[in-house]
Amino acid sequence: MQTIHTFGDPTVTWIDVVDATEEELELLADQYDLADRTFDEAHRRAARPTMQRFDDHAYVVAFSGSLAEIDMYLGPNWLITVRRHDPDGREWDPQSVIELCRRHENLTTSSGQLFATLIDELINGYFDTTDVLEDKLEVIEDSIFNEADRIEQRLQHDLFELRRELLELRRAVVPLREVLSAILRREVIWIDGDALVTIRDAFDKLLRAVDLVDEQRELVGNAVDAHLAVMSNQMNFVMKKLTAWGSIVFGATLIAGIYGMNFQHMPELGWKYGYPVSLGMMSVLSLTLYRMFRKRDWL
């Protein structure tokens, strides 16, 4: 399915193609003389943002804040975007860009300006994503030190899931610097004037987004370390309790074991008060050890 938007005077055309069939892509390739190898890329998910330049158009791959891939073909007075619905929910809605272009005619004076506006909106989406990830991280950090919510398996899953999301976001954000740097070097002839100013602003935003992603990755690493430290401390506390109770039981077990050997000439075996004395010794020894461990906060 494709939607055609036209802006300004002279007319700039934006063709937004969603879930295109082979036939639709071939028709577009023939109509705008697009390079075959770049249209092959539109059939599969790219690993990272990239740009290829040709005599009459440029091919750019970028990702939205939700990590939806957008393949863009930029020509003298047209822009083609190719995208697909993702079963994982990675969708991008161009409506905000369309409304912005309708409100501000200066954003659509050329295909380069339209492209720059679209890139700027995509980068704005990165900040929304980092805000969501930051909220998730705060919840996880609170859970790490909250005894009531400490469910180790769930916390580990959440931490590693958040780390994976940040890694995917970084793969989508960081390589875009190279694309925008090439554009700022005027390697794409259709992006000039006001479009370059917009790209420069977008580049500054992108650098801030990269810094945010790197900071959050570091915070996630710190959260993982804190979680491991809490687990280690908890394990040490459990081991101290087991050691304390084992020591308490050991004294009574030792006395019972000695007098349970039943050797014939063993002292005190015939003593009238042997049984109550041995029980008393067990009780006194166990109580003494218990009080000692309680005083040291091992129990």
Which has the closest alpha carbon to 15: 37, 42, 36? 42
Q: Could you tell me if 113 and 8 are in contact, meaning their C-beta atoms sit under 8 angstroms apart?
A: no
State residue 66's pLDDT score. Answer: 87
Q: Which of 33-37, 85-89, 132-136, 170-174 has the lowest mean pLDDT?
A: 85-89
Domains of the chain: 2-232 (1.20.58.340), 233-295 (1.20.58.340)
Query: If you average pLDDT over every residue of the chain, what do you get?
Result: 83
Sign of CA dihedral 204, 210, 216, 218: negative
Span 210-226, average pLDDT: 87
Instruction: Report whether pLDDT(64) > 70.
Output: yes
Of residues 191 and 152, the one with the higher pLDDT is: 191
Kind and range of the H or E element at 52?
strand 50-53
Residue 11 pLDDT grade (very low, low, confident, very high; cuts 50, 70, 90): confident
State residue 87's pLDDT score. Answer: 62
Whole-model pTM: value is 0.74
Span 38-46, average pLDDT: 64
Instruction: Report whether pLDDT(209) > 90.
Output: yes
Q: Could you tell me if 109 and 194 are in contact, meaning their C-beta atoms sit under 8 angstroms apart?
A: yes
For the beta carbon of residue 62, count every other beta carbon within 10 angstroms: 26
State residue 19's pLDDT score. Answer: 83
Span 89-93, average pLDDT: 76
Span 103-114, average pLDDT: 83
Residue 123 pLDDT grade (very low, low, confident, very high; cuts 50, 70, 90): very high
Instruction: Report whether pLDDT(172) > 80.
Output: yes
For the beta carbon of residue 171, count every other beta carbon within 10 angstroms: 15
Residue 205 pLDDT grade (very low, low, confident, very high; cuts 50, 70, 90): very high
